[in-house]
Chain A
Amino acid sequence: MTTRSISAAGSLRIAKAFLRAREVSILIVILVVFGATTIYNHSFADPLSVQQLLVGASVMMMLAVGETLVIITRNVDLSIGSVLGLSAYVVGDLFAHNPNLNILLAILAGTGVGLFCGIVNGAIVTVVRVPSLVVTLGTLYVIRGIDAIVVNGLQINPSSIPSSFINLGYETIIGIPWIFIIATVLVLIVGYAMRTFRPARDLYAIGSDPAAALLAGIPARRRVFFTFVLSGAIAGFAGALWLAEFATVSSVAGLGYELLVVAAVVVGGVAIFGGSGTVLGAALGAILLNTINQALVAARISAFWDEALAGALLITAIAFDRYVFLRRERALRVRLAARVNQ
């Protein structure tokens, strides 16, 4: 928001604000990781390798968009990994039984599965008023359980999925993978909406100060319900595309994704206690985590380091935010004291 500053402020201020924006610093970190890895292993910058990088980040980017909406309202959705898994299997199963199924219809079906899960989450959080951490931890297991029952030990094989659908995960246009274009369009649309529409702005207010939101007459429960529905729908949508990417699905699809996504979102500058952050930052956070993951592979460092690094990055991001916050609070208190004593 700082980059929207008025013209009078001068270009220096705009430049400073630009550098302070989380999105820019993450982009820089991504480029540094990318550059350093390329120096070590030149094939990391090959077009095919970059494409692979973008494909790998796409599903995580989409999930990060939904999760961002929820976290901005000071809630969390831990069920997205399970929703993705269920949706991926349902879409795969539909293809297995109807080989000529329209691709759009299949994606719509996956989205519908997620939408339904989101409605359940949102209803329990806002109507029964159980903390979302508990609710979605519960639905994480419930949905995974339903998934296991539906899958029943089977597996959908690439042979039963139409190649036109799998192409979504592989084909490129002017060198850019389709799935990455879809994820980017989603990020841009939701990012634009978050800046532009009143209900979206309400989400920031709710997360920023729930009590004040009440005093301002914001329909907080309706808004929060809506974010869970959207998060679920996006996870369902991402589930369909996950199937396009991997072409095979069992009952463990998307297992553990929720925590990676929360980490990506927080690294991307979305405050874990709500109120601030952008969809674009969260998506870049997802790309960063995926880039690190791929870089470790390219640098032939054990994959065990991957999760440790992701965790360390998360803690660094949060500790840094907290440090900046405390310093600002302290400065404010001193300024107030100076004013009272004047």
Chain B
Amino acid sequence: MGEAGSDRQPGNLGQQISAQPPASVPDEAPLLVLEHVTKWFGAVHALSDGSIELRAGEVHALVGENGAGKSTLVKILAGVHKPDSGRITLDGKTLTLHGPAEAGAVGIAVIYQEPTLFPDISVAENVFIGRQPLRSGRRINWPAMNEVVNEVLDRLGVHLDVSTLARGLSVADQQIVEIAKALSFSARVIIMDEPTAALSNAEVERLFEVIEALRAQGAAVLFISHRLADVFRTCQRVTVMRDGRFVMSDAIGNLTVESIIRAMVGRDISTLYPKTEGEPGAEVLRVEHLTREGVFTDVSFSVRAGEIVALSGLMGAGRSEVARAIFGIDDRDAGKVTVNGATIPRRSPTASMAAGVGFVPEDRRQQGLVMDMAIDHNIALASLSRLSNRRIIRRSAESKLAADWAVRLRLKYGRLKDSANTLSGGNQQKTVLAKWLARQPSLLIVDEPTRGIDVGTKAEVHRLLDEVAHQGVAVLMISSELPEVLGMADRVLVLREGRIAAEFSKEEADEASIMRAATSQLVRGAARQ
């Protein structure tokens, strides 16, 4: 073992923090404070008032809807992003981080939603990458490193072969390795972003034991979760964020599930949503027992002509994955998809398109548009066979089609020959919509149709979707924005962990019931016996 083993002993977490008052003492000085932190990404205001106060020896929950700014806040604490304004203090001293390595050095460890292990190197080395224990001649002391990591894992009550590659580990084990990393840093602040999202019940139990041990040793744990049941089980205090702002913070004893949900969603549905009533027609899409192992299971529903059906749920619940499998981008392991009575073969976007399906993907820059190609070519891209004569594209027909749709969608552009790059986000989205509408689809799947779009264009996209539905197109809309779901959808399907958890008619649906179905604290609580 030698000197390297002992001076890198991660077991000193307890001693180091024992200088702090014990955990049970209330109202102690906060360990880490964020005050009015803001962050812009280009024109997007990701965080407009990030404020939170962490005390030693507490597990502090941070909750909020998708897009409330939680992840941005985490990345600022991790040193990944620099805040535009505001103040961070650690132990009462102002903290400025220049990169993730510095955050680690001051004792802030982040366990991301997606584990960030290196698949090709061993478990032990993942824990110590860049700071492996050394022996003479700056050589890595492998036995010492493996032994230290073994000890840390023992303390966590986990048995992993530390010399295996990280590639084969389950998500739960990967998270354990991330926690071991935090321990080996002697981290005083441990941030966990959705740690329970991918875990089974037994693994969640194990994680809670670990969190409790960390808390008892005096660490401050920031626990970010959509699962309110988990929050009530492990956390002492809760901070709620909404639309990039701090909303409230209180001790868990003063809160209920209802009061937290109210704080998370409490806003008026604006008049952005011009949805008009219409009589749905014949069934267009029928999905039966659709399953992709490990992603979603036994998903069945239908969409009728003239109807807008929203697929709601938390991030990672499998919404986009279901849409991709319906359209045929991803494979499916079981189940059947029918469009207008015709069965769609698996993994064939071509067949889906021929059957009249249009698909507006979530990431328009990567998947929806060819950014360096001209606007008119982008619009015509999905209609080329109709615009060609003996496989040769008729340019005049192409231009005419593009010009028509540009007018109908009130596209704001310089020239149609400019590249799609030159358009604003909202107009890029309209271009993608135009591309599919030009094919006159009978089913339109839109994934996050208004993400990152300014308010005015957003309303136009909504009006457009309403208009399309009125013309008898069946619309399947995936959206993380509850107001959008409530404002636009005739029916709402809620996915949770890859299964349909609930279905609401327009009349039944409200924010609280959707959030409850999506987070479902009752089901998980019961299953954990």
Which residues from chain A sit less than 8 Å from chain B, CB to CB?
1-2, 4-6, 9, 195-198, 201-202, 204-205, 207-209, 211-218, 271, 275-276, 328, 332-337, 339-342
Contacts and interface: CB of A to CB of B under 8 A. Distances in A.
16 contacts: A2-B164, A4-B163, A5-B161, A197-B140, A198-B131, A198-B132, A201-B132, A202-B129, A204-B121, A212-B118, A217-B99, A275-B120, A328-B168, A333-B295, A339-B203, A341-B297
Please classify the interface of chain A as helix (H, G, I), strand (E, B), loop, or mixed, using the class held by over half of its residues: helix
A2 B119 CA distance: 14
Nearest to A328: B168
A2 B497 contact: no
Contacts of A197: 138-140
B193 to A, nearest CB: 12
Interface string B145-166: 0100000000000000111110
Interface of B: 78, 80, 99-102, 104, 110, 112, 116-122, 125, 129-132, 134, 138-140, 142, 146, 161-165, 167-168, 170-171, 198, 200, 203, 293-295, 297, 497-498
Contacts of A201: 121, 125, 129-130, 132, 140
B120 A334 contact: no
B133 to A, nearest CB: 10
B497 A340 contact: yes
A209 B129 contact: no
Contacts of B146: 6
Given A208-B121, A275-B118, A335-B170, A342 B293 contact: no
Contacts of A340: 200, 294, 497-498
Given A215-B80, A215-B100, A340-B294, A198 B116 contact: no
A9 B161 contact: yes
B122 A216 contact: no
B78 A276 contact: no
Contacts of A208: 118-121
Given A333-B293, A333-B294, A340-B497, A215 B112 contact: yes
B116 A212 contact: yes
B138 A334 contact: no
Contacts of A6: 146, 161-163
Contacts of A214: 80, 100
A207 B139 CA distance: 21
A342 B199 CA distance: 11
Contact of B130 (A4, A209, A217, A342): A217
A209 B200 contact: no
A319 to B, nearest CB: 19
Contact of A336 (B118, B132, B162, B294): B294
Nearest to A204: B121
Contacts of B121: 1, 201, 204-205, 208, 275
Contacts of A212: 116-118
A209 B165 CA distance: 14
